[in-house]
Amino acid sequence: MTNLTRLTVSHRGLSAPPAWVYGASTRINNCYELGCELLYQNQIYIPPACDEFQLSRKTTAFKKNKFNFFKLKIQKFSDEKVFYDARNFFNGNIAHLTQYHLTSLAILCMDFSISEENVGIIFSKKDGALGYELFSKLGFNCLITDQNINAPIFQSPINDDNFFHYMRKAKNFANGIFPQIPADGKYFIPRKGTRKLINELDVGNFLKLHGYEKLYLEDLSISEQMDKWLTAKSVVAIHGAGLGWMPFSLASKFSLVELFPSGFVVNPFRKSHAVMYPGSLWRGIRGVLDWRVVKKIDSSHNFKKFAFDDFQVDLKSLALALKDIED
């Protein structure tokens, strides 16, 4: 086990540069000559952070067991491995696995100098299968259990508020695991479940003319998804957890066009992209507006009301976004 037991990491403030979101024009914008709306997105400031990571022997418990802490059997391990408890986040999508866990493990392996084979990651029975598969492929020892664990435990403070600061380290760590291969792939990533593209056929045909290969991540194994993302250089994708694969791209410059439902333009992946790929372009495209969104989005307190709706992308907007990232 490493001699380092405590590490304080300070971060200065970061920012995502100003950007543009394209959208189909409405007659509010121009009654007779409909073009594209160009929606300016302000620079986003990510405030400074100071975080403390600790490594010590303790008993860690799954939160759902907290009322039965003293009744449950404790599984005890020697000092040969360090354990990281991933169970107290939702682990059913790739974005959470990279934002919270890949970032924490990058600190453990790179700053505490502990190799992947000497790290055990604890997942819950309910939603641990995806994390188990992903991190096993990265060389970690993974364990699925709801029992309490007594072992050397790595405690990470990474959460919703500060994970952006660690995304660059996560990318560097992930890239160091794989052999360096050319990253020149151009991929279009639609969705099959919620938040589908109504005019996916038209969008796919247009992007195919520009050299983009269509991928349904739902149809690919974890290994196949990883192989594609390692070679990704330019991606047009519907906003969703699949964009959590971004740290795995081996490209130094990586362009992203993010497609949003008309009532759900948000910034998490724009911020992550800016931190991991400084100087690379991000563009957004807002789905074609309909009367429900115009009427309700600004008067409702439910800001995710339209987050999972199917939507249509305006091809003129897509053409302008592609011109930006390819120029």
Question: What does pLDDT average to in each consecutive run of 10 residues of the chain (327 residues)?
Answer: 84 95 83 84 95 93 59 77 94 96 98 96 94 97 92 96 96 94 96 94 97 97 97 97 97 96 93 97 92 71 80 92 89
Q: Running DSSP on this structure, what letter comes out for residue 212?
A: P
DSSP run (H or E) holding 190 = none
Amino acid at 193: G
Instruction: Judge whether 239 and 258 are in contact, CB under 8 Å.
Output: yes
Strand partners, 212: none
Smallest CA-to-CA distance from 249 within 171, 165, 134, 170 is with 171
Model pLDDT, residue 71: 54
Q: Which two tokens stand for residue 144?
A: 């699925």
Instruction: Judge whether 322 and 284 are in contact, CB under 8 Å.
Output: no
Smallest CA-to-CA distance from 33 within 25, 22, 41, 44 is with 25
Q: Running DSSP on this structure, what letter comes out for residue 311?
A: B
Q: Alpha-carbon distance 202 to 200, whole Å?
A: 6
Q: Alpha-carbon distance 229 to 97, whole Å?
A: 15
* Cα 132–chain centre separation: 17
Model pLDDT, residue 145: 92
Instruction: Judge whether 113 and 1 are in contact, CB under 8 Å.
Output: no
Q: Running DSSP on this structure, what letter comes out for residue 89?
A: S
In terms of DSSP bridges, do strands 44-46 and 82-85 run parallel, antiparallel, or are they unpaired?
unpaired
pTM (2 decimals)?
A: 0.91
Smallest CA-to-CA distance from 236 within 255, 262, 209 is with 255
